[in-house]
Amino acid sequence: MLRLQNLHKTYGQRAALSDLTLHIPPGEVYGLLGPNGAGKTTVINLICGLLRADSGQIFINSRAASAATKSWIGVMPQENLLYRSLSCEENLAFFAKIYGMPRRVRSRRILECLAAVNLLDRAKTPAEDLSGGMQRRLSLAIAIVHRPKLLILDEPTTGLDIEARHDVWELIRHLTRQEGMTVLLTTHLLDEVERLCQRIGIIKQGQLLTEGTLEDLRQAIPAQEIVTLETPTPEAAIARAQVHGFTPRRYGSDLAFWVPDRLELKDLLDRFDGIALDSIARHPVRLEHIYLEATTKAGL
């Protein structure tokens, strides 16, 4: 559905994208991760035709991106681009008309979209009177009103409470299952990616560092679990851990170790016998560990 081939883009002397290539097949939810300034927004702007690449190609549904393919794309931006004084129904009608939707199908599609995002009972409510979660759902309805083949979600749940986040997640799942949309998702919420995405790509400084399923990416960390410690003698703990083949890492202020075998808590404590421990905790290998390893090569 979406193929980016050897994309390059510079701003003055700064390379925003360098030889970026990725492919998203139809019906997939693909998570694109990276630190601020990694190039995610540039990717979105290029796909949408708001920027031109210095070189490389973009294909949407096997066709080179052009004015003709723009109608195949729906975008839910970071900021809600709503007409605050207009009702939910009027906002959707405005954008449906921009997309050239025939009048005879417009009203039915507006009701379908409001129902899909659970806002049918708010059809006449001005956007400014909606909660933050409802405004995000209305933004999603606007993005899908013209039945796009490719849906771009840019930080779709940032700033929402957990209940509203779960509502948006379920809506995204519905769109891929029931309407067959392909989704490109950018977010800083790693649990969102773990829950929604079939494949994940991590970029930094405009380059794709790694991509694959979550299970594929876990292979980058040769550990069955990650153990974190709080100790007044971290140097002694690190030395002991390395004797047992545990790889030390610092994740922020946390002292962590990659443990190659799954051990019982008693066995773990035996490995650190004689080391003063304030606490010890066991964790599965999560996307946050993979992300930090890819983007910072986290060490000590």
CATH, residue 246: 3.30.70
Q: What is the pLDDT of residues 9-24, one digit of tens each?
A: 999 989 999 999 999 9
Percentage of residues in the chain with pLDDT exceeding 70? 99
Task: Identify whether 299 is part of a domain.
Answer: no
How many CB atoms neighbour CB 2 within 10 A?
Answer: 24
In this prediction, residue 258 carries a pLDDT of 96
Q: Are residues 182 and 262 in the same domain?
A: no
pLDDT over 90 (residue 135): yes
Q: Are residues 159 and 119 in the same domain?
A: yes
Between CA 8 and CA 5 the distance in angstroms is: 9
In this prediction, residue 233 carries a pLDDT of 95
Q: Are residues 183 and 254 in the same domain?
A: no
Q: Are residues 75 and 180 in the same domain?
A: yes
In the structure, what pLDDT confidence band is assigned to residue 126 with cuts at 50, 70 and 90?
A: very high
Give start and end residues of each alpha helix (H) in the chain.
40-47, 88-98, 103-116, 132-144, 162-178, 190-196, 214-218, 234-243, 265-271, 287-296
Helix 103-116 crosses helix 132-144 at what angle (to 10 degrees)? 140
Q: Are residues 177 and 50 in the same domain?
A: yes
Could you tell me if 160 and 187 are in contact, meaning their C-beta atoms sit under 8 angstroms apart? Answer: no
In this prediction, residue 298 carries a pLDDT of 46
Q: Are residues 233 and 176 in the same domain?
A: no
Q: Are residues 14 and 133 in the same domain?
A: yes
Q: Are residues 87 and 231 in the same domain?
A: no
Find, among 34, 37, 53, 33, the residue nearest to 45 by Cα: 53
Summarize the confidence of residues 219-227 as an average pLDDT: 93
Q: What is the pTM of this model?
A: 0.90
Contacts of 63 (CB under 8 A, 6+ apart): 69
Question: In total, how many domains does the chain have?
Answer: 2
In this prediction, residue 226 carries a pLDDT of 95
Between CA 156 and CA 29 the distance in angstroms is: 13
Could you tell me if 85 and 125 are in contact, meaning their C-beta atoms sit under 8 angstroms apart? Answer: no
Q: Coil, strand, or helix at residue 267?
A: helix
Percentage of residues in the chain with pLDDT exceeding 90? 79
In the chain, the amino acid numbered 278 is D
In the chain, the amino acid numbered 95 is F
In the structure, what pLDDT confidence band is assigned to residue 253 with cuts at 50, 70 and 90?
A: confident
- Range of 128's domain? 2-214
Task: Identify whether 14 is part of a domain.
Answer: yes
In this prediction, residue 297 carries a pLDDT of 64
Lowest mean pLDDT among 141-150, 153-162, 197-206, 230-239: 153-162
Q: Are residues 207 and 240 in the same domain?
A: no
Handedness of CA 66, 68, 73, 75 (dihedral sign): positive
Q: Are residues 236 and 205 in the same domain?
A: no
The gap between the terminal CA atoms of the chain, to the nearest Å, is 41
pLDDT over 90 (residue 161): no
Find, among 142, 18, 19, the residue nearest to 79 by Cα: 142
